[in-house]
Amino acid sequence: METFAVVAVIGIALAFDFTNGFHDAANAIATVVATRVLSPRVAVAWAAMFNFIAFVVFGTTVAATIAKGVVDPAVLSVGVVFTGLLGAIGWTLLTFYLGLPTSSSHALVGGIAGAAIGRAGLHTVQRSGLQKIGVFIVLSPMIGLALGLLFTLTLMWVFHRVRHVERLNRGFRVGQLLSSAAFSLGHGANDAQKTMGIILALLIASKHAAPTAGVPLWVVLAAHTAIGLGTLSGGWRIVKTMGSKITRLQPAGGVAAESAAAVTLFFTSSRGIPVSTTHTITGAIVGVGSTQRVSAVRWGVASQVVWAWVLTIPGALVIAYVGQLVLRALS
């Protein structure tokens, strides 16, 4: 019976990963599609490929943070992981219905924390782990913004004497291929690892893995396959063109924004810090837009990110907490 429950929860975790690829693919390919460097289908395949190979480049430190750094691993059980996922998915669906901004990454952290508190109390939360995640929730879009601005200024300074604008734009179109690949790599490294962390926590809880174990290879492959397939299957239908939603980007701006976000994601992924990839690229695009003037940026979109910081973790935490209480009452 427990094996069936473990398999079912792994299925839910992979479905969560699939939807992440499905709606976050737009972040990586929006500017490439908008500037017609690649067709939507080819762009999605390009992003999916780099999502998948991210595990070769980066380790699994983000997964370890999710599995062992948010709550005391001793308190984890199949029920805790299940209600944690329930909190994350429930909050994501609720905010989708209400039209509120959210972050699936932060929802996952809030969900696991809420489920653990519901099971064994507040002391089970690893204050240090949550503190690290909380600090970088705020820092990652701000690093993206500063880097996006600095990269744009650097590109403007380096190429301001170039007279052949057409040739320069062609160069930046090629550059966009590289920068979107780098961003997809960062996206795969950070977001797929969150699911790996959840599955590792589940395996530890169900005694299928030792508490000190690393992430098994099949989990790594399954998580990257799920996020890659999500990107491949749905991303092109919902390209929301982040570029035009926040500010109108030119090829050079696309290169700067994606490179800035990629650098931020490479840093956080290599240090085992889970962050929101959407917030990071949003910050970078705002940074690129603010090189022009304040009114070139739709600050309403930026303020949505701030609301997502404030609301997501507590919201998912409460749903998971209530879910855990219900589960305990039923059992």
Scanning residues 191 to 220, which ones bind another protein (CB under 8 A)?
A: 204, 211-212
Strand partners, 125: 71
Phi/psi at 72 (nearest 5 deg)? -60, 120
Nearest-approach distance from CB 153 to another protein, in angstroms: 8
Element (H, E) at 10: helix 2-34
Nearest-approach distance from CB 106 to another protein, in angstroms: 16
CA 225: distance to chain centroid?
Answer: 16
Contact 81, 289 (CB under 8 A): no
Q: Which is nearer to another protein, 181 or 257 (CB)?
A: 257
Q: Which is nearer to another protein, 158 or 294 (CB)?
A: 294
Tokens of 85: 């996922």
Q: Which is nearer to another protein, 297 or 317 (CB)?
A: 297
Crossing angle of helices 61-68 and 165-205, rounded to 10°: 40
Position of tokens 């067709």? 39
Scanning residues 73 to 102, which ones bind another protein (CB under 8 A)?
A: 73-74
Q: Which range, of 66-74, 85-93, 223-231, 238-246, touches another protein by CB under 8 A?
A: 66-74
Scanning residues 135 to 174, which ones bind another protein (CB under 8 A)?
A: 135, 138-139, 142-143, 145-146, 149-150
Q: Under the criterion CB under 8 A, does residue 106 sit at the interface with another protein?
A: no
Identity of the amino acid at 104: S
Cα–Cα distances (Å) from 101 to 82, 176, 284, 321, in that order, read 24, 27, 18, 21
Q: Which is nearer to another protein, 103 or 124 (CB)?
A: 124
Contact 245, 301 (CB under 8 A): yes
Strand partners, 38: none
Scanning residues 228 to 267, which ones bind another protein (CB under 8 A)?
A: none
Nearest-approach distance from CB 65 to another protein, in angstroms: 7
Task: Give the helix ranges, DSSP H, for 70-162.
Answer: 78-98, 104-120, 127-159
Candidates 276, 290, 312, 324: give the one binding another protein (CB under 8 A).
Answer: 290
Q: Which is nearer to another protein, 145 or 327 (CB)?
A: 145
**What residues make contact with another protein under the rule CB under 8 A?**
64-65, 68-69, 72-74, 126-129, 131-132, 134-135, 138-139, 142-143, 145-146, 149-150, 204, 211-212, 271, 290, 293-294
